[in-house]
Chains A and B, each alone.
Chain A
């Protein structure tokens, strides 16, 4: 607004003259009647966005603030947000507690493979549902909806028993004499993911089906006319067009698998998984902290039975666990926001 004012002082170009600020009270009232609603709306909009944004960001900021606070300062009423003395002790102890580098590498690798399998199976199944002409098989899509609606916890017991005595039609028992126990083994999760029954797999199939239905069939037909093979069409025509859908599903799958505690607790009580580690640590902080006693330098505060100290360590550990997600989001946010709002979720 100051801009337009300065413009009107110097010789304003013709198109800007209408936008100069009014001078008299009467002019103001006319101006406000014309523009007031608009301005009020945008003030309201920014106020809403800022306040909701603050609610979203607050817990993360709080976590960061608690992580960098020096242990002596925790609970002091003077510094609730910005610590007066920075310290990385909380983060260092949490780092040791989680055995961070090893656990991070392991969790990244397993989650990465899970995402790959889930995206592959969901894309193929979604494509098949979008393109198949048989009405009977199209009706099977109802089963996909059913897999979305049925809570996975309902199937907990049979699935648990299935993976405890894992066997493929009795073949493994025939060879080795006993079935394999796949509990505590990420292979159980990989199997679920590959066969399209992993975490929220129904939703991914749904997204891909809607997406592929939006792609015109003529595209594939033309490729076929030009002598492209089926898989040539799939990987050279369809998949490049499906990139927004793939990005959306990959991000969702990565995030949900990373944050999942249900499947990991049930099948992968593996000590290396970050989430499992955090959960077991928070269940018994006294012992967990005592176990890493020797790795902590002597000049640290380290009161491992202090409840406040434990809470701060837990907060720092949680921050470390979600840190990869924040980094990932920073890298993909632009593509994700674009593709997610354009991806064929709508159909």
Chain B
């Protein structure tokens, strides 16, 4: 009798104890957030509103208001264009990557021979998620264009030109559409390279769709096409949101703005301008990600 009472008390104790430990486990992260995230965030906003000089004694700041922003957005030679370019490239890239990775995940989810090998191959870009490969590609194409005449680079260039001619002459497509198509084609490698994690997430989602759903769809006489749109897509739609946000931020982090920000700060010691660049980049990022997730949040279907 006494034993059971003790046990029941222990159970309610259990949650309290778990809470205490959870608090403790969270502490390093909390310290980290304050010290390495919130504090720098506030500091960078303060710097962006000040004229900052680094001296031997530390930082010297004098209030200038939004002068830094005015300079960075209006007078700086490249920043505004780069900022615009970053976002106008990141958004279509995200769409491409999402479509490709969903497609690849569906492809890899089916039953076929060598499925394991195919998955290993498709996840390879995650492991080799490095700019080194494109560096070496540049190296190779450099070799070929510098080499004696007909290297593969010139060959592929003439191939592209032939395609352009064919599209313009034969199909009468306007040049803007052709340049988009060509952009997609030349981006194929980049898209595939950046899709690894997204394929992984979609594949995990597809595997969590319960087989009974498919069975029901089949019993009701749905075609494969209908099954995809009515069963598969709604179930993975929360992951579309996750993936879009991940892809968008991942794409934004690859911008060359980072180099501009870095050289402005450490190259030419214009810390105030650099901070203003950082803050405008951050604000735009938050606005774009916020809008995208708001729109997608309305579309997403939650099963629970």
By a beta-carbon cutoff of 8 Å, the part of chain A in contact with chain B is 42, 45-46, 48-49, 52-53, 55-57, 59-60, 62-63, 66, 74-77, 80, 121, 124-125, 127-129, 131-134, 137, 140, 143, 147-162, 165, 192, 194-197, 203, 205, 220-221, 224-225, 230, 251-252, 255-256, 259, 261-262, 266, 278, 282, 307-308, 311-312, 314-315, 318-319, 321-322, 325-326, 328-329, 333-334, 336-337, 340-343, 345-346
For B257, list chain A residues within 8 Å (CB): 153
B interface secondary structure, majority? helix
Task: Report whether B130 and A149 are in contact in the complex, using a CB–CB cutoff of 8 Å.
Answer: no
By a beta-carbon cutoff of 8 Å, the part of chain B in contact with chain A is 7, 10-11, 14-15, 17-19, 21-23, 25-26, 28-33, 35-37, 39-41, 43-44, 47, 54, 58-59, 104, 107, 110, 112, 116, 118-137, 139-140, 142-144, 146-152, 188-189, 192-193, 197, 200-201, 203-205, 207-208, 239, 245-246, 249, 252-253, 257-258, 261-262, 265-266, 271, 274-275, 278-279, 281-282, 285-286, 289
Task: Report whether B136 and A329 are in contact in the complex, using a CB–CB cutoff of 8 Å.
Answer: no
Please report the C-alpha to C-alpha distance between residue A325 and residue B127 in the assembled complex, in whole angstroms.
7
Task: Report whether B246 and A203 are in contact in the complex, using a CB–CB cutoff of 8 Å.
Answer: yes
For B22, list chain A residues within 8 Å (CB): 127-128, 131-132, 137
B286's partner among A129, A149, A152 (CB-CB below 8 A) is A149
Task: Report whether B139 and A151 are in contact in the complex, using a CB–CB cutoff of 8 Å.
Answer: no
Interchain residue pairs with CB less than 8 A apart (29): A49-B121, A52-B104, A52-B122, A55-B192, A62-B136, A63-B140, A66-B143, A74-B147, A77-B148, A128-B26, A143-B37, A151-B249, A151-B252, A152-B253, A156-B258, A157-B47, A158-B40, A158-B44, A158-B47, A196-B29, A224-B17, A225-B10, A259-B130, A259-B131, A308-B142, A311-B142, A315-B139, A318-B135, A337-B116
Interface centre among B15, B127, B257 (most CB of A within 10 A): B127
Task: Report whether A156 and B278 are in contact in the complex, using a CB–CB cutoff of 8 Å.
Answer: yes
Task: Report whether A74 and B203 are in contact in the complex, using a CB–CB cutoff of 8 Å.
Answer: no
For B11, list chain A residues within 8 Å (CB): 221, 224-225
For B132, list chain A residues within 8 Å (CB): 259, 278, 318, 321-322
For A160, list chain B residues within 8 Å (CB): 265-266
* Min CB–CB distance B107 → chain A (angstroms): 6
Q: Which residue of chain A is the closest to B207 with respect to CB atoms?
A: A341
Assuming the contacts A62-B140, A194-B28, A224-B10, asked whether A151 and B281 have C-beta atoms less than 8 A apart, the reply is: yes
